Amino acid sequence: MSRFRLLWVALLGLGLVRCTVPSLEDLWREKGFCAVGDEDCGMLRIRVDAQGFVPGCLRITARDGDRDAVLSMSIPYRGTERAGRTLTQGFSPPKDWGLGVTVTVDGFEQGCDGAAVANQQLGFVLREGDISDLAFLLRATDADGDGFVSAATHGSDCDDANPAINPAATELCNFQDDNCNGVRDEGIPVGETCIASNGCTGSNTCGENGAVVCFAGPIVQYAWADEDQDGYGDTSRGQVPVCTTELPSNRLPLSAPHNDCDDSRASVHPGLPELCNRMDDNCSGDTDEGFNVGTVCADSQTQCVGLFECDPSGNRTYCKPNSAPPTWYPDDDLDSYGAPDGGIASCARPDEGFVPQSGDCDDGNPFIHVSAPELCDEQDNNCDSLVDENGVCVGGVPSWDTRVPAGDGISLHAASVYGDGGVWVVGEDSTRMVKTPGSKVFSVLPGACTDGASPQSLLSVWAHPQTGVAFIGRDQGKLIVQTPESANCTPRTLLSSSSATVMGLQGVLADGGVDIHGVVTDTAKGNGGTFLWNGGLTTISIKTINTTQFRGVYGISPQVMFAVGGSVSSSIYRYDPDLGFWRADGTAPSGASLNAVHVVNPKLAYAVGTRGTLLRWNGAWSPVSGFNSPDANLTGVLAFGTHSIYVTSDDGCIYRYDGASWRVVRCAASVYGIAGNRPDDIWAVGRFGQVTHYPGWPQ
């Protein structure tokens, strides 16, 4: 006995004296079944052998003889190192079991599921402190050794003499049930029509080694294949065999044409007209010849560059743009925001009247569009459905506030705005007054604008938009230059006719200076005329126009400038900057003389006159529909767009159009002039020295 063993026995004896140590049997009974392969464990050594087959799995079940307690374990067998040997499995009944147990061993074909193909049950009474053996022998038949037990011994192998036949086998074409599912040759097209290797039609049958073969009769003749039956044989397949004396409908005699390049389409064969469909319709070897498919083009509607593509009809091409075109929106008021409707998809801008963004809820007023600043003008300027919000009306509700800065004994004839809030006003008795930007009151300048004793009438004024210098026209053929600081009515410039009255002035900034276009009426000579003044003192020559007495001039550039007048009928002239003279506009309607004109933008202008005449120019002059005051003598017009127009009259009324309707906004003393560069800064002047401002007097 080794020293280690002696030491262990001594320690065990000492332990028995001092305390109780669990026995090995107690430890076994805590486990029940021992670990698989541990043959030195357990009170009962269960030994299992198999005869006639090799189980895929073994299941051992132990039951307490005194009650229904059960323990079970499954042990893989075939394919492990235990296969072919006696399997020994240790077991001890738990401490709460009796010593009488019943053991059942089940053997399975494959895994431990389904039904067992063999089993045996034995009972045994164990003895404490003893180790017993219990032998089992499972019998089943696997004669062909394919791992599946014969159906005759409760297995699933339907032919235990052939290892190629079992439930795991692949079904072959051999007229037998290879996979033991009760059906022969399932999923195999036996008997179906087929084409044999010689090209003849036959039927499928089973050949050697389970292969499917097509059996057909002998070749009788050769022909051309014509599967689309268009009368042209398939050039790619060559001569094909036919197994009948009579040719089928999809075969042609060898004398027939056989140059069909697509035998799947009857619409494709030599001699047909070529279509635009990405196919070689006439078998010429080319596709869509004559249609220029893929070449660069410009779409006629969108002006976008693209490539020619086939039209769905196949008879023509169309230009497919390379990218989606942007949308352009009509912008009649030229505020760079287009109306939400009427958009045109185009790569090129349709014309100058279109812009790439919409957002204009009123395309007749340039002061109304999305993101526009809100003004005090009784309009929704920023298209948010609110009017005059955010406290823009400093003086309260908008009104036409009238005051008399220079006394009520004179008539005021003209006004001209400049800068941000500046305005000049001129009239009878040499009246010149100015409100500078930021000021709330007018300054009346001193001095009589005459060489004699009688003050003269000042009938026209144009203020430099940046400097505020005023260029003034008067009767008796003179021009005057004034600043807000002028202490007298000089300097003065003479016209070539001392009887000419300057009825209108319009300046244009040019080369660091100004070009001022003027119009006159010469009652002494019974005619009118025009002149061009640079603001200097040199005598200005008048270009006489015998048939017209002018009353007004207005323009935004030399290219868009009109002069109006007439004694008994309307007369309109337009300046030609290339030739340097005024040309009569033949589109002016007759019937009334004209008093004033206002140019809104390069595409829009308005003119007014006697008999309630209101004309609009958008390339040609025509009456404005909707305005109805046939007896009024209209004296002035101011417009910001087709939906924002102001007209003054000799009877003292001011008419306003907001895009929806005309209405009278003020009626008092006669109004002779109106000016403004935005809807919330409008000045009107007239009889009795009255000066009116909208939307209220400057605060």
Instruction: Return the number of other C-beta atoms located less than 10 Å from residue 208's C-beta.
Output: 8
Q: Are 605 and 597 in contact (CB under 8 A)?
A: yes
pLDDT of residue 453: 62
**Beta-ladder partners of 656:** 646, 663
Q: Rounded to 5 degrees, what are φ and ψ at 662?
A: -90, 140
Pairing of strands 691-694, 681-686: antiparallel
Q: Are 640 and 367 in contact (CB under 8 A)?
A: yes
Tell me, yes or no, whether 391 lies in a domain.
no
pLDDT of residue 589: 84
Question: Which residue type does 422 have?
Answer: G
Select from 310, 42, 10, 53 the least CA-distant residue to 157.
53
Q: How many domains does the chain have?
A: 2
| Share in percent of the chain as helix, strand, coil (round to 5) | 5, 40, 55
Tell me, yes or no, whether 372 lies in a domain.
no
Sign of CA dihedral 313, 317, 320, 326: negative
pLDDT confidence tier of residue 474, bands split at 50, 70 and 90: very high
Select from 648, 572, 579 the least CA-distant residue to 605.
572
551-601 residue pLDDT tens: 999 999 999 999 999 877 889 999 999 999 999 998 888 878 999 999 999
> Collapsing DSSP states into helix, strand and coil, what is residue 582?
strand
Instruction: Return the number of other C-beta atoms located less than 10 Å from residue 639's C-beta.
Output: 21
Tell me, yes or no, whether 84 lies in a domain.
yes
What residues contact residue 372 under an 8 Å CB cut-off, 6+ apart? 335, 381, 382, 383
Separate counts of helices (H) and strands (E) for the chain: 2, 47
What token pair was written down for 391?
Answer: 């406290």
Half-sphere exposure of 237 (CA within 13 A, CB side): 21
Question: Which residue type does 235 have?
Answer: T
What residues contact residue 586 under an 8 Å CB cut-off, 6+ apart? none
Helix (H), strand (E) at residue 27: helix 24-31
> Considering 169, 188, 209, which residue would you say is the last residue of a domain?
169
> Collapsing DSSP states into helix, strand and coil, what is residue 448?
coil
pLDDT of residue 137: 96
What token pair was written down for 343?
Answer: 């958009």
Q: Rounded to 5 degrees, what are φ and ψ at 16?
A: -65, -30
Tell me, yes or no, whether 142 lies in a domain.
yes
Instruction: Return the number of other C-beta atoms located less than 10 Å from residue 154's C-beta.
Output: 16
Cis peptide before 167 (omega within 30 of 0): no
What residues contact residue 26 under an 8 Å CB cut-off, 6+ apart? 95
Percentage of the chain beyond pLDDT 70 is 97
The yes-or-no verdict on residue 3 having pLDDT over 60 is no
67-121 residue pLDDT tens: 889 999 999 999 999 999 999 999 999 999 999 999 999 999 998 888 999 999 9
CATH number of the domain at 436, please: 2.130.10.10
507-539 residue pLDDT tens: 999 888 999 999 999 988 889 999 999 999 999
> Considering 139, 169, 199, which residue would you say is the last residue of a domain?
169
Tell me, yes or no, whether 539 lies in a domain.
no
Pairing of strands 432-435, 422-427: antiparallel
pLDDT confidence tier of residue 288, bands split at 50, 70 and 90: very high
**Beta-ladder partners of 342:** none
The yes-or-no verdict on residue 687 having pLDDT over 90 is yes
pLDDT confidence tier of residue 30, bands split at 50, 70 and 90: confident
pLDDT of residue 109: 94
pLDDT of residue 5: 38
Enclosing domain of residue 420: 400-494+669-699
Instruction: Return the number of other C-beta atoms located less than 10 Å from residue 472's C-beta.
Output: 26
Q: Are 376 and 694 in contact (CB under 8 A)?
A: no
158-168 residue pLDDT tens: 999 999 999 99
Question: Which residue type does 209 have?
Answer: N
What token pair was written down for 571?
Answer: 């007369």
Give mean pLDDT, residues 218-232: 92
Question: Which residue type does 263 have?
Answer: D
Q: How far is CA 287 from CA 237, 275, 277, 278, 296, in A?
A: 22, 9, 8, 6, 18
Pairing of strands 432-435, 560-565: unpaired
Tell me, yes or no, whether 144 lies in a domain.
yes
Half-sphere exposure of 88 (CA within 13 A, CB side): 11
8-29 residue pLDDT tens: 344 344 344 444 556 778 888 8
Mean pLDDT score of the chain = 91
Tell me, yes or no, whether 657 lies in a domain.
no
Tell me, yes or no, whether 683 lies in a domain.
yes
Intra-chain end-to-end CA distance of the chain, in Å: 126
**Beta-ladder partners of 205:** 213
> Considering 146, 169, 192, which residue would you say is the last residue of a domain?
169
